[in-house]
Amino acid sequence: PADKVRFLREAEVTGQLEHPGIVPVYGLGSYADGRPFYAMKFIKGDSLQKAIENYHNPATPGRTSDQKLFQLRQLLQRFIDVCNAMHYAHSRGVLHRDLKPGNIMVGKYGETLVVDWGLARLQGEASEILSDTEGPQILSGSVETQTLDGTLLGTPAYMPPEQAMGTIDQLNATSDVYSLGATLYELLTGQAPFVGKQLTELLKKVRRGNFPKPTEIEKDIPKPLEAICLTAMKLNQADRYQSAAELAEDLERWLADEPVNVWKESFSIRLGRWVKRHRTLFTSVATSALVLIAALTVGMLLLNAARNREAAAREMAETNFRMAKEAVDQFYVRVSEEVLLDQPGLQAVREEMLKEALEYYKRFLEQRSDDPLLQEDQALTMYYQGQILGEIESPEQSLKVLRESEELQKKQLERNANDPLQKYRLSNIQNAIASQLTKEQKWKEAEESFKNATSLRQQLVDEFPENTEYQRKLANTLMNFGLVEMKTGSPEKALESVGKSQTVRESSLKQDAENVLILRDFAMGYFNQAMLQLEQKQVAPAVESLRKAADVFAKVVAKQPQDFRIQLRLAQTKSWLSELLWFQKQQQQAKVLNEESRKLLEMLVMSNPDVAEYHSALARLLMNRARWHQQSNETDAAVASFEAAIKQLRIIVDGQSISETPNDHRDLAVSLSSLSKLLQESDPEKANALREESSSILEQLLKAFPENSDFQKIKEKLSNL
């Protein structure tokens, strides 16, 4: 199905692009068995990849340096044709997203054609697939994968950093310009800019822009061509050529022996060009002017050296500033409600990226606090920093920065009261503060921050009723607000808030039925609604809500089957539903759902051994299964399930403080106590040790969270066993 979508996508896109540099499609249809086909122009020739290999082949017999230069100029002219074709595609709003030498054909009669538009996308088009992560998800060991937002797109060795990060909504014409630059890099050097067998390491290099300069591989490459290549491949999109036409123009200037825009020529080169163009005049006055020119050259060099030293100091400071901004913009742009790179094998890379971004932010704020540009965006900068701290450090450190960010953003809003962007940013900050407060279980304070965020987001929805992203953010705040209301003892209000959030989402889906983010949130809303209904002993409504949640989660999984976080939500939903069905004496259906959930969770744990959330979910399912065995008087099976659950929970809490993983410590205490009861007769010594450990954990939980009534109830219940 994915190949079919890509096949049809290519036909539809190329069929709308009428340009000599793009292969025309003459017709689209399907066979009787449903297989699609399209008719296109037959191309005689090789790929640019093959032409580059021939150019760099050292075994080419009898080729002089002049002949090689002539071949280079021919290849560059072909490359300019590609740039012009892409400029046309961009003018029609189409991005290629997989430009590389292998996707460029060079015909026998001078044609240069861009092919393989299977990953193409319209600029501004809503993402085909939106995941819970902003970073790439690896679909297989292949370095070329199918298109998914939040997944790896195209070919890593030629893709821009924003594409390698999976932030597909940031792709624009400059993203294709980067890939053109990577293609030019291979044309000049004979190899791709990024080389490596390990996909994770390769992606890491791409995101950092960690590749050797062309002249480090081929020292004879002209400096202006190297500068053109490196400009196209700048890490920051704003620093690249802003169009393929600008890139083509600079190459044409070089071919015409004109100075290029991105490389400052030395005086000697400018003088050499003048001499070539005025050779007769220069020869006639060469003798008399030789001494003067020599003196002038020395003077110019000395003057330029003095100026360059002063400029270099300023440039160094500015470079440091831009490095910080680039790192933040590239590594951690959309953090408020999304998780980066939370996929198999990439968790370590994700954490390293966050740490690097955090260090850049610290320097950014320390060194440039008086910079006018920073003052304009200081609140946003501190918001990002606070989010990173919440991800890799602690809620306490995060809140300290987020509070300061909130005050700065309030001042920004006071100065720009009618600016929706300022309202949007403040609502994000307040929502982030509330989220960090919930981690510390400071429910009253979290409730206040959620109220503030809800008020601003409601204003934005009222002002812009067609903006589904504003609606999505409002719904999420309402839902989280409801969960906090439950913790503060207002169950009716909690259900009302979650109900409002679902109403907002239903309205959004009427406007944008294929928005996977809203679908995901809609499913999560039903799940949370079920949890609140259970808190109030409304079992039948909870079962209905969980069934709806499972149905919607299944739709999301079908749309993005490689998003493991959505699979986790589906597994958790089935686990809860199985537990309630068991309670309602529907044991057979409960066992089926429990087994489906177990298989999903074990796959997630096996693929993601470093992700605590997956271990935690599997542990809870095993705890439920152990209780079923107890109720069926299957003692040995119950012991085995509790031991398996404890094994998963110890993996999570090992080296973690109570405050970092309170719920997992709670589950560990409950499992230890339950197992001790089962072993009381067969192994009383072990049973007593387990009971003491359980009691100790609960004491620590109550000390760390004195306001948490749930922990107190659990302690009292276990004491009575």
- Whether residue 605 has pLDDT greater than 60: yes
Q: What is the pLDDT of residues 456-469, one digit of tens each?
A: 999 999 999 989 99
pLDDT at 296: 38
SS3 705: coil
In a domain, 477, yes or no: no
Contacts (Cβ under 8 Å, ≥6 apart) of 424: 456, 460, 470
- How much of the chain exceeds pLDDT 90, in percent? 42
- Whether residue 71 has pLDDT greater than 60: yes
Sign of CA dihedral 98, 99, 105, 110: positive
Q: Rounded to whole angstroms, how far apart are CA atoms 638 and 678?
A: 8
pLDDT at 251: 95
Q: What is the pLDDT of residues 627-665, one digit of tens each?
A: 999 999 999 999 999 999 999 999 999 888 888 889 999
N-terminal to C-terminal alpha carbon distance within the chain: 55
Tally of structural domains, the chain: 2
Q: Rounded to whole angstroms, how far apart are CA atoms 230 and 625?
A: 59
Q: Rounded to whole angstroms, how far apart are CA atoms 349 and 330?
A: 14
Cβ atoms 136, 341 nearer than 8 A: yes
pLDDT at 200: 78
What's the CATH number where 675 sits? 1.25.40.10
Cβ atoms 146, 2 nearer than 8 A: yes
pLDDT-derived band of residue 387, with 50, 70 and 90 as boundaries?
A: confident
In a domain, 97, yes or no: yes
Kind plus residue range of the DSSP H or E element containing 40: strand 36-40
Domain end position, chosen among 266, 284, 319: 266
pLDDT-derived band of residue 499, with 50, 70 and 90 as boundaries?
A: very high
pLDDT-derived band of residue 269, with 50, 70 and 90 as boundaries?
A: low
Cβ atoms 509, 515 nearer than 8 A: yes
- What 8-state DSSP symbol labels residue 460? H
In a domain, 224, yes or no: yes
In a domain, 468, yes or no: no
Q: Rounded to whole angstroms, how far apart are CA atoms 575 and 481?
A: 25
What's the CATH number where 73 sits? 1.10.510.10
Angle at 110 between CA 112 and CA 214, to 5 degrees: 55
pLDDT at 143: 32
Q: What is the pLDDT of residues 569-592, one digit of tens each?
A: 999 999 999 999 998 999 999 999
Q: What is the pLDDT of residues 688-701, one digit of tens each?
A: 999 999 999 989 98
Choose from 59-63, 64-68, 221-225 the range with maximum mean pLDDT. 221-225
Domain end position, chosen among 249, 266, 283: 266
Q: What is the pLDDT of residues 699-713, one digit of tens each?
A: 998 888 887 877 878
pLDDT at 713: 80
Q: Which of 221, 244, 202 is nearest to 88 (CA)?
A: 244
User: DSSP labels for 224-287?
Assistant: HHHHHHHHHT-SSGGGS-SSHHHHHHHHHHHHTT---TTSPPPHHHHHHHHHHHTHHHHHHHHH
pLDDT-derived band of residue 168, with 50, 70 and 90 as boundaries?
A: confident
Q: Which of 364, 353, 320, 432 is nearest to 165 (CA)?
A: 353
Q: What is the mean pLDDT of the chain?
A: 80
Q: What is the pLDDT of residues 96-139, one digit of tens each?
A: 888 999 999 998 888 899 988 777 777 654 343 333 332 222 22
In a domain, 307, yes or no: no
Domain that holds residue 179: 2-266
- Whether residue 505 has pLDDT greater than 90: yes
Other CB atoms closer than 10 Å to residue 314's CB: what's the count? Answer: 9
In a domain, 375, yes or no: no
Q: Rounded to whole angstroms, how far apart are CA atoms 649 and 664?
A: 6
Global model pTM greater than 0.75: no
In a domain, 27, yes or no: yes
Domain end position, chosen among 222, 251, 266: 266
User: DSSP labels for 380-446?
Assistant: HHHHHHHHHHHHHS-HHHHHHHHHHHHHHHHHHHHHTTT-HHHHHHHHHHHHHHHHHHHHTT-HHHH
Tokens 């298109």 label which residue?
147
- Whether residue 193 has pLDDT greater than 60: yes
